[in-house]
Structure 1
Amino acid sequence: MTFGQLAGIIAAIAFLILVVFLCRVLAKLVKTVSQLTSTLNSVTKDADNISDQVEKLLDKTNILMADINEKSQKVEPLFDTIADLSESVSDLNAASRNMAVKISESAKDSSKIKKASTLFSVGKHAFGAVNKAKAKKK
């Protein structure tokens, strides 16, 4: 066997080893790509399921919000009435306070009138007594 033939056999064996190695790598690569494809399909299905659930949740949320808006519109007059009632109570409180002040002033005026009446009555009796005394002197 010549040196050229020996080099050719070594090159053929090296090429054969390279081909076997590449076949193993390609087989593992095919297996990895297959698993990756399976994983992506699973993730896609899960994302679709999540998307469907989110869509249903948004529909239910929209229905709930419409119901809440409708009920809040029904309750709004109640709050308006409560606000009017509180204003009326405030007005009533102010009117009561004014009436109490007027009654208090009236009571003060009444006591002045009573004092004046008493003074007039005392003066009348005194004048009557003076007239009687003058009548007796005559």
Structure 2
Amino acid sequence: MTGGEAAALIAAIAFLILVFFIVLVLIRVTKIMREVQATVAEANRTVTTVTSDVDALSKEVEGLLTKANVLLEDVNGKVANLDPVFQAAGDLGESVSDVNEASHHLVERITDIGNSTAKASTLGRVGVGALRFYQNHRRKKATTDNTQRSDS
């Protein structure tokens, strides 16, 4: 074998080895591509399912929001109707406070009148006592004067 034939044989073997490795790489890439395709197909099915579920859920949520808005409007209407009740309760509380304050003033005035009446009553008793004392004193003096005139 000549040098050229040996080089051609080495080149042919190297080419054969290169083709073999390229085929192995292509087989692995093909397997990976199939797995990727299966994964993409599964992802597409999942996205389709999720999309349909999200559509159904969004319709349900929209219905719930509509019902919640109706309920909220109803509650707001009822609260608006209750506002006068709370206003009246507040006014009643103020009126009760005013009545309470007026009754305290009345009790104070009655107490003052009672104290004044007690003082006047005490003064009246003292006056009656003084009048009796004066009358008794006058009678005794008149009796003494009459006795002295009779003696003279």
CA–CA separation in structure 1 for the residues paired with 2:126 and 2:34: 131
1:87 paired residue number: 94
2:126 paired residue number: 119
The CA RMSD over aligned residues, in Å, is: 2.5
What are the ranges of 5 or more consecutive residues in structure 1 without an aligned counterpart?
none
**For 1:77-123, what per-residue CA distance to the aligned partner results, in whole angstroms no more than 9, with x for missing partners?**
11111111111111111111111111111111111111111122122
> In terms of mean alpha carbon deviation, does 104-113 or 13-22 score higher?
13-22
User: Given the alignment of the two structures, is residue 45 of structure 1 paired with residue 40 of structure 2, yes or no?
Assistant: no
Identity of aligned residues (%): 26
How far apart are residue 130 of structure 1 and its match?
A: 2.6
User: Given the alignment of the two structures, is residue 106 of structure 1 paired with residue 113 of structure 2, yes or no?
Assistant: yes
Matches within 5 A, 1:1-138: 3=9, 16-136=23-143, 137-138=145-146
Query: Normalising to structure 2: TM-score of the pair?
Result: 0.75
CA–CA separation in structure 2 for the residues paired with 1:46 and 1:104: 82
The one-letter code matched in structure 1 to 2:55 is D
Query: Normalising to structure 1: TM-score of the pair?
Result: 0.81
How far apart are residue 127 of structure 1 and its match?
A: 2.2
